[in-house]
């Protein structure tokens, strides 16, 4: 089992459960996003320390997420805080996956998991940027996103070892 990948799956499961079981409370959803993003960025920074740019994108995402979370009390609406945390987290995960895919070769055998990750990050980031989502819809979309990532990363953690690209 790949332990770092399993920890990412646990982080995504925490994010999903924190968002799904909060009954549309944007403050609780913001905390779930913060926990999810902090765990995933920290784990990916460690996992990709041999790939400087990818590790730097994850570290920057971690720093910006934590910085925004510490300053987010300035935004008047809880929904705005949640929305901005999701935008920051998904943007930097998207950028890191782009760097990984360029390094691995976008459509080479063995890179399927990173294409899936990139696609999920792109879909959620695009939905949050281009659509005017209401509170329940936005929280629901993020919960589904975390749930899908938890399952995807969990399967990847216990599945066969990937080809020598990561």
**pLDDT, tens digit (0-9, with 9 covering 90-100), for 61-119:** 888 888 887 777 666 777 777 888 888 888 888 888 888 777 767 777 666 777 777 88
Residue 13 in domain: yes
21 secondary structure, DSSP code: T
Task: Quote the number of domains for the chain.
Answer: 1
Distance CA 150, CA 9 (A): 4
Residue 163 in domain: no
Residue 162 in domain: no
Mean pLDDT of the chain: 81
Residues of the domain holding 30: 3-155
Residue 110 is predicted with a pLDDT of 67
How much of the chain, in percent, has pLDDT values that exceed 70?
A: 91
What is the chain's length? 166
Residue 117 is predicted with a pLDDT of 77
Question: Residue range 52-64: average pLDDT?
Answer: 83
Q: What are phi and psi of 111, to 5 degrees?
A: -105, 10
Residue 165 in domain: no
CA-CA distances (angstroms) from residue 27 to 8, 22, 114, 135, 157?
23, 9, 31, 11, 31
pLDDT at 142 over 70: yes
The CA angle 59-96-72, to the nearest 5 degrees, is: 50
CA-CA distances (angstroms) from residue 17 to 37, 111, 166?
14, 28, 29
Least trusted range by pLDDT, from 23-27, 31-35, 63-67, 74-78: 74-78
pLDDT at 139 over 80: yes
Distance CA 110, CA 90 (A): 23
Residue 164 in domain: no
Angle of helix 78-104 relative to helix 52-71, nearest 10 degrees, comes to 180
């Amino acid at each position: 089992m790949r332990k770092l990948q399993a920890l990412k799956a646990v982080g995504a499961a925490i994010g999903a459960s924190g968002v799904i079981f909060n009954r549309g409370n944007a403050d609780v959803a913001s905390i779930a996003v913060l926990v999810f993003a902090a765990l995933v960025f920290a784990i990916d920074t460690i996992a990709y320390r041999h790939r400087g740019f990818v590790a730097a994108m994850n570290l920057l995402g971690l720093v910006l997420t934590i910085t925004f979370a510490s300053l987010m009390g300035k935004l008047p609406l809880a929904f705005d805080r949640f929305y901005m945390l999701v935008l920051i987290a998904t943007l930097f995960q998207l950028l890191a996956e782009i760097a990984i895919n360029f390094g691995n070769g976008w459509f080479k055998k063995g890179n399927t998991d990173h294409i899936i990750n990139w696609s999920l990050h792109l879909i959620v980031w695009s939905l949050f940027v281009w659509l005017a989502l209401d509170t329940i819809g936005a929280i629901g979309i993020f919960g589904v996103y975390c749930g899908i990532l938890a399952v995807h990363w969990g399967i990847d953690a216990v599945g066969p070892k990937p080809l020598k690209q990561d």
